[in-house]
Structure 1
Amino acid sequence: MNAERPYLLLTPGPLSTTATVKEAMLRDWCTWDDEYNGLVQSIRERLTLLAAPSAPEAYTAVLMQGSGTFSVEAAVGTAMPRDGGRLLVAANGAYGERLAQIAETLGIDTARLGFGEVSPVSPERLDEALAADPGVTHVAIVHCETTTGILNPLGELAAVVMRHGREFIVDAMSSFGGIPLDAAELGIDWLISSSNKCIQGVPGFGFVIARRAVLERCGGHARSLSLDLHDQWATMEKGGGKWRFTSPTHVVRAFDQALRELNEEGGIEARHQRYVRTQRALTEGMEAAGFAPLLPAELQSPIITAFICPEGFEFREFYGYLKQRGYVIYPGKISAADTFRIGSIGDVQAEDLKELTCAAAAYMVERTEPASGA
């Protein structure tokens, strides 16, 4: 590690970025300039190609200032009509619950279908819930629930929603760009992510990739001026990439560079395979060091992994020990077990995770050794 990169950021975003992504932010841009707006248009086009490779023309991308949660709120608040809509949120973690909270705060008629914290969203139960409630017009799920690292069965869930003819909102915050999918084939109407996740940019904006025909009929739905996704989209369409309000120009430029680097790596499939390798190296090394994963392998995403804290384990002490050696990890986020989490995405290789797990193993040895002079 060095002064410019004192540690690897092993979280589900923000994450460790390349030097070239950071260097892209060294230039100032004018938000009204045609060159900058052309860059925004290029980003929008590339996002639809990544999200719906079989039918990119059927989708459009809208960039929105703020964290990923801002874009989730913009999508939900714009997708749902002010009258006559009902949203079913299938939740199995904190981010699914936050999605439901957003809808309820906006005054949207919302139903929650809960699955606890360590079980995937069940297609069978979703099917039953939709059959029992014909008033539901929209369904929302989180693809990768980073509360635990669980990966929900998107294909099976999409098939259920499509069969019932409901609109489908997918929070793909921590999966888009790192796990292959095709929104057109799956029938996804709204796909949400942000700049600082698997595309490997920096924080500052989120984006929604929406089915064009669906978004076009959502004028007047929004409950917020600044989070009106339809108006943001209409302005970008009319203005050739112009944002309604001041955009995070440096972050946009970094994201453009990150998209270029994704392409150079071989696209989403190649990045997914790298993430799988890093997560495997992480899990194998942590198990050897004495840490058990929370989830069985068949439910585990390659994005972030939760580990069960051993008896008598002090997370803050462990966190400080690893940070001194160049690694920053995440605390746990569930009530069902005492856990901590380690991300395996970003500018990180399997060898980095092997070195991390060696440090974790050394910590476990040191904490069990008797103090000197005892």
Structure 2
Amino acid sequence: MGVPSGQKGGWAGPDRRYLHTLGCYNILPCKGSPFWSGPSPRPKDQSDRGVWGGRASPAFSVPFFGRRGALYIDYKTRPRHPEAVACWKETPMSSLYPTLAPLPDPAEAPAAPSHWLLTPGPLTTTATVKRAMLHDWGSWDGDFRALTASLRRRLLEIAGVGEGYSVVPLQGSGTFALEAALLSLAQRNSRVLIIVNGAYGQRMVEISRRIGLGHAVLDLAETEAPSPDALAQRLAAAPDLTHVAVAQVETSTGLLNPVEALAQVTAAAGRKLLVDAVSAFGALWLDPARVPFETLIFSTNKCLEGVPGMGFVLTRIEALEEARACGPAPSLALDLADQWAYMERTGLFRFTPPTHVLAAFRQALDEYDAEGGRTARLARYRRNHDALVAGMGWAGLRPLLPEALRSPIIVTFLAPEDPAYHFTTFYEVMKRRGFIIYPGKMTEVESFRLGCIGAVDVPVMEDCARACEAAFKELGVALPD
């Protein structure tokens, strides 16, 4: 919604009313705006209400957008008897927001982004990945079906699994795919032990609680890795547990959980393993010969460096068949087994897929292969991590976790212990300097996070470290010696 030229903003959702006589919305000023004139007095009778409910206010115009221009509601008020007069103006949309920067020419993807996204996803993508989204696809078209099938095959190859597995794509983020996978466990009357040492483990607990999946929790500190011995004891004490669920990288801190050791304990106990590999798949490999998992969850926009919009569940075909035999899931859109069966039968998605996301993902996988696959991708991320930690160390800032627990995906840094430090202002200064960063997700320690993944390399990480040091100096934040 626009604001008249020369006026300040200040609209509020609760102040919306209907202009029934005009058939459109009237946006009322909120407290603190230049148009606020105090609370609306209760009208004496219906005839005294007017279109503003009795409120007196200065005259001004509000544009309502249309296809060819803007409908302006001109308010000419007198105490307790406001009137509204609508007039149509053939006004170019660009003139309503003269301060907005024009969109870039879609035919010319920039060589370098306007900001580096040092986040765990969405993340910085290459110009060629962006350019791959310029083509429109029909979701029922044979070419798009072939594209989808080829992506599913390539993901199985990246995972290194055999014929007993299938990849099921699901529209949405990695969390959508994670919830669909947990729903399939609920269909099978499973009971899962969830390892929690951060926000993403806790997310699995919350999903399980909401969908009615039987679960127990192995609760750990945010800086603590799970012990295989503790897992073995917990499984031995609870024979009703059928599955173990763990995040490969606990992205709230960057902690790398020892999934291989946990998988071997799980298999030895006769249980099955579900891994949230969203922040790891494509770089931190889980060798199926050494990590006997049932299910992996991942997405387009992490280590495979695509754009957001599609999650994937890689799981055993027998698990999908078992879930399907148990009947429909309690969610239509997130019914993993139904999505798989329909896709196997038709090659189509049940509901509209993000076609441009998958086109970009094909390009991202081409670039992944050209770089050298997971070995080269992981090596670059490790170089990024090492350069970032070294550069931040020169500024006196240290990581939260010891090196033995850190992943090369994202690093949590302890915030300066200075009253002048506020993440919001630090974020804005970093954004102005060309970097988008993440706040910390620690519950007890003030921190911030810097990602090492995406289409970035060592010079970007070094520039980020220098920008952090300069930002703190600009804000008057004292750094440790």
Bin of the TM-score, shorter chain as denominator length: over 0.9
Structure 1: how far apart are the matches of 2:340 and 2:188?
19
Pairs within 5 Å for 1:113-192: 113-192=218-297
- Indicate if the aligned counterparts of 1:117 and 1:336 stay in contact, CA closer than 8 A: no
Offset of 1:138 from its aligned partner? 1.0
Instruction: Give the structure 1 partner of residue 349 of structure 2.
Output: 243
Give the TM-score taking structure 1 as reference length.
0.94
Instruction: Give the structure 2 partner of residue 222 of structure 1.
Output: 329
Higher relative strand content: 2
Q: Determine which structure has more spread, i.e. the larger CA radius of gyration.
A: 2
Name the SS for the 1:225 alignment partner.
coil
* 1:324 equivalent in alignment to 2:432: yes
Name the SS for the 1:186 alignment partner.
coil
- Indicate if the aligned counterparts of 2:264 and 2:290 stay in contact, CA closer than 8 A: no
When structure 1 is superposed on structure 2, of 278-287 and 210-219 the one drifting more is 210-219
Offset of 1:212 from its aligned partner? 1.7
Name the SS for the 1:341 alignment partner.
strand
Instruction: Give the structure 1 partner of residue 191 of structure 2.
Output: 86
Offset of 1:51 from its aligned partner? 1.1
Name the SS for the 2:298 alignment partner.
strand
Structure 2: how far apart are the matches of 1:81 and 1:363?
51
Pairs within 5 Å for 1:215-294: 215-219=320-324, 220=327, 222-239=329-346, 241-294=347-400
**Paired amino acid for 2:303:** C
Q: Pick from 15, 40, 65 the counterpart of residue 148 of structure 2.
A: 40
Structure 2 unaligned residues grouped into runs of 5+:
1-109
When structure 1 is superposed on structure 2, of 271-280 and 217-226 the one drifting more is 217-226
Offset of 1:280 from its aligned partner? 0.6
| % identical aligned pairs | 48
Instruction: Give the structure 2 partner of residue 9 of structure 1.
Output: 117
- Over 3 Å counting, the alpha-carbon distance change for 1:346 and 1:3 in structure 2 is closer
Instruction: Give the structure 2 partner of residue 74 of structure 1.
Output: 180
Q: Pick from 294, 301, 306 the counterpart of residue 407 of structure 2.
A: 301
Pairs within 5 Å for 1:355-370: 355-368=463-476
Structure 1: how far apart are the matches of 2:302 and 2:207?
21
* 1:24 equivalent in alignment to 2:129: no
Offset of 1:52 from its aligned partner? 2.4
Higher relative contact order (CA 8 A, sep 6+): 1
| Matched length | 366
Offset of 1:336 from its aligned partner? 2.1
Offset of 1:363 from its aligned partner? 2.8
Name the SS for the 1:214 alignment partner.
helix
Offset of 1:59 from its aligned partner? 1.2
Instruction: Give the structure 1 partner of residue 20 of structure 2.
Output: none
Structure 1 unaligned residues grouped into runs of 5+:
none
Structure 2: how far apart are the matches of 1:61 and 1:332?
32
Pairwise CA RMSD? 1.7
Structure 2: how far apart are the matches of 1:211 and 1:369?
52
Give the TM-score taking structure 2 as reference length.
0.74
**Paired amino acid for 2:344:** E
